Structure 1
Amino acid sequence: MAVVALIDLLNGPTLGFLSLLTLGPTFASVSGSVRRTALVGVVALALSLPLAAYNHLLGRTQNYVTLTTIIAITGASMLASHLRIGRERELANVRLVAEAAQRVLLRPVPRQAGNMRVALSYTSAAAEAQIGGDLYEVATTPQGVRLLIGDVQGKGLDAVETAAWVLGAFREAVYDKDELPAVADQMETSIVRHLTGEKFVTAILAEVRDDDTISLLNWGHPSPLILRGDGTVHSAEPPEEAVPLGLTSFGHTRPKPYQVPFADGDQILFYTDGVIEARDGRGAFYPLGERMCLLQCEDPQAGLEVLRADLLHHVGGPLDDDAAMLLLRR
């Protein structure tokens, strides 16, 4: 409004800019309260009177129209401010519910599990969302440290509901079954019972015992990468491809467990496809294997944060898909 008044004074009484004073209450309604918007409207009216006198418009119809316009737009802006504040409060309540659901569904992973240190990174594709279709869990059981990472087909609330079923099935079976395939069988049975249509979940189930190996079961999920103590990187590929969870009832074979070396000083990175399918502006995929060297930090969580920052820098903006990374250092 000060700029409008200055322009009006510099251009002289030949050109009238008084109607532009309505920009004041209009912009005030975007971020201010109803009271603040009303006060800005009063200031606009106060400015319009001396400017009208300067432009020789006092007592003329044009000035009455300008004053009426300022009053009307101030009233409309106050209503818009009131509605905006109501929506912001509603959104804040929804976010509180979403945060509570996230704490129940995706509980914080332990930073220490057995003789391993654990690090986690979760980046949602939507900046305002804190939960999605990616899932993870780490549990220390009598049989060893067991973990799950997965990616639900689809997005939105349906994906969150499916993720809840998968995590519930894992948490129920992980402590009761002695062998990893038995955990997988109970998960598959429970998931098939609740999944409808053609929904499926890619996932990896892993178990670390006292020997220098890690056992893996892979349901069509991107294979984890192992960073050896000497800096070399290996992909823990399964011996044969398998279908995702939820599709084995159609006659496909279930995945077979396999073991890969996992000695002291080694790190293994589990991730979802939102990481390796992230593209830069030229369409190039994120080269995760080449960037594994970024994990060579004393603190695994610090290394994973460096890797996440590099991923976001590669994309140059928000991700197109959720990206979860789970790092174990033995």
Structure 2
Amino acid sequence: MAVTAPKRLSQRMRDQGRPFETALLTPLLVVVVVSVAAALTPHLQFNRLLGVAPALAAAMFPVAGTLGVGVLALTADTALGLVVEHDLNRTPGYFTLLAIATITLAAAYASRVRQNRERTLAQVCAVAETAQRVLLRPLPNHLGQVDIEVLYRAAAAHARIGGDFYEALQTPYGVRLIIGDVRGKGLPAVEAASVVLSSFRVFVKDSPDLPSLAGRLESGINGYCEVVPSEDVLERFVTIVLVEIPTDEPVARLVNCGHPPPLLLHDGDVREVEPSAPSAPINMAALLGDHYRVDTIPFAAGDSLLLYTDGVSETRDHAGTFYPLAQRVRPWAFAAPRQFLDLLEQDILTYVSGTRDDDLAALVAHRAALGPTG
């Protein structure tokens, strides 16, 4: 399937897990190091540092493991008192044991709280994964003569979905694609994205042209806003690009509704496909009109279209400069779609300053061949 992000995520988690497995030995290492230091320098009373071990264990061990480390620390302190000082019956010795026991109990409680939060996070991630499979289902690598690859990254660290979306389907009119971005973030943006995507999937094969398809998407989001009213209903709009790639014509037809312009990659050249006339974003036709302009561009075998959201083009560096997309991707104009998107993702991560605060989606449609009459 085209979406290989889950596989890469699993591999990344396995890679990140190896250092964590090594870190599990840290509390035990603390007990050993502190015990040796206390035995060699009894006058410095290093044994008071044994309470660090259960405190560290709380961050990575379950409750039983944390208590076990605490018992080990208590045993080590007792042994040091008997073997090194030959006397445990002293107030400082009892105080150290009490301190370790208190820290162990507190650490066990902290471990329990951490485990509860981890379970909650795991459940939330599972729900997000399921929602992504429904909303942003994997796209096929090939639709007719068109190869397709996608890249998607949600802004939130543990989120899998956001307000950016995409879809590609084979229709009687050729391959039709959509990429879009809902204004706003969070669950309202996800819900609005699901409405637009659902409408697209329902009407994409029956709409005779792209303007009629855009009009049906407009009706769908209008109906949603009427059923689920809110204070910001007038500001809840969606920018999209609709693309139609006929099977037997070396062209692509586009309707751009307030979205960043796609890039056409042709024979090593990269150019923005600006709309010849503006079309209103979805859910803004009542204010701006419902005149959807179709632009037809040459799109022959070997050409590619890069569709993307503003999470790509509005990425900023440390100086606040926007990511110069057309300039940066020019060296990769001949790359295969999957390699192209991998290079794009790596370059954005290198370019960005700090943490991204917007979702990111990109789709490459590459025309591998023309139909029999092309």
Residue 109 of structure 1: aligned partner = 139
3-state SS of 1:30 partner: coil
- Give the percent of matched residue pairs that are identical in Structure 1 and Structure 2: 44
Residue 31 of structure 1: aligned partner = 60
Superposed, which structure 2 residues align to 1:1-330 within 5 Å?
A: 1-13=31-43, 15-53=44-82, 54-55=84-85, 58-195=88-225, 196=229, 197=233, 198-209=235-246, 210-229=248-267, 231-297=268-334, 299-315=336-352, 317-330=354-367
Matched letter for residue 307 of structure 2: F
3-state SS of 1:169 partner: helix
Report if aligned partners of 2:155, 2:357 keep a CA contact under 8 Å in 1.
yes
3-state SS of 2:170 partner: strand
Report if aligned partners of 1:204, 1:221 keep a CA contact under 8 Å in 2.
yes
- Deviation per residue, 1:305-324 (Å, 9 max, x gap): 11211111111554221111
Report if aligned partners of 1:16, 1:55 keep a CA contact under 8 Å in 2.
no
3-state SS of 1:281 partner: coil
Matched letter for residue 221 of structure 1: H
- Deviation per residue, 1:272-296 (Å, 9 max, x gap): 0010111122322212101223444
Matched letter for residue 81 of structure 2: A
Report if aligned partners of 1:177, 1:183 keep a CA contact under 8 Å in 2.
yes
Between the aligned partners of 2:236 and 2:123, the Cα distance in structure 1 is: 30
Residue 253 of structure 1, CA deviation? 4.7
Report if aligned partners of 1:34, 1:82 keep a CA contact under 8 Å in 2.
yes
Query: Structure 1: where are the runs of 5+ without partners?
Result: none
**TM-score between the two structures when normalised by the length of structure 1:** 0.93
Between the aligned partners of 2:269 and 2:199, the Cα distance in structure 1 is: 35
Matched letter for residue 256 of structure 1: R
Moved more, 84-93 or 171-180: 84-93
Between the aligned partners of 1:177 and 1:224, the Cα distance in structure 2 is: 22
- Deviation per residue, 1:43-99 (Å, 9 max, x gap): 101111233343576212222222112112212212222222222222212211111
Between the aligned partners of 2:313 and 2:252, the Cα distance in structure 1 is: 23
Over the aligned positions, Cα root-mean-square deviation in angstroms equals: 1.8
Residue 37 of structure 1, CA deviation? 1.0
Between the aligned partners of 1:155 and 1:204, the Cα distance in structure 2 is: 19
Matched letter for residue 84 of structure 1: R
Residue 299 of structure 1, CA deviation? 3.0
- Deviation per residue, 1:89-126 (Å, 9 max, x gap): 22212211111110000011111112111111112222
Distance of aligned partners of 1:184 and 1:106 in 2 relative to their CA distance in 1, 3 Å threshold: same
Distance of aligned partners of 1:216 and 1:10 in 2 relative to their CA distance in 1, 3 Å threshold: same
Report if aligned partners of 1:111, 1:119 keep a CA contact under 8 Å in 2.
yes
Report if aligned partners of 2:250, 2:301 keep a CA contact under 8 Å in 1.
yes
Moved more, 113-122 or 253-262: 253-262
Query: Structure 2: where are the runs of 5+ without partners?
Result: 1-30, 368-374
Between the aligned partners of 2:327 and 2:313, the Cα distance in structure 1 is: 11
Report if aligned partners of 2:252, 2:298 keep a CA contact under 8 Å in 1.
yes
3-state SS of 2:58 partner: helix
Report if aligned partners of 1:295, 1:304 keep a CA contact under 8 Å in 2.
no
Distance of aligned partners of 1:246 and 1:6 in 2 relative to their CA distance in 1, 3 Å threshold: same
Report if aligned partners of 1:226, 1:235 keep a CA contact under 8 Å in 2.
yes
Residue 8 of structure 2: aligned partner = none
Report if aligned partners of 2:214, 2:292 keep a CA contact under 8 Å in 1.
no
Matched letter for residue 238 of structure 2: V
Moved more, 48-57 or 190-199: 48-57
Residue 186 of structure 1, CA deviation? 0.9
Report if aligned partners of 1:106, 1:137 keep a CA contact under 8 Å in 2.
yes
3-state SS of 1:194 partner: helix
Residue 297 of structure 1, CA deviation? 4.8
Report if aligned partners of 1:136, 1:149 keep a CA contact under 8 Å in 2.
yes
Report if aligned partners of 1:271, 1:325 keep a CA contact under 8 Å in 2.
yes
Between the aligned partners of 2:207 and 2:290, the Cα distance in structure 1 is: 21
Between the aligned partners of 2:120 and 2:156, the Cα distance in structure 1 is: 19
Residue 17 of structure 2: aligned partner = none
Moved more, 217-226 or 291-300: 291-300
3-state SS of 2:221 partner: helix
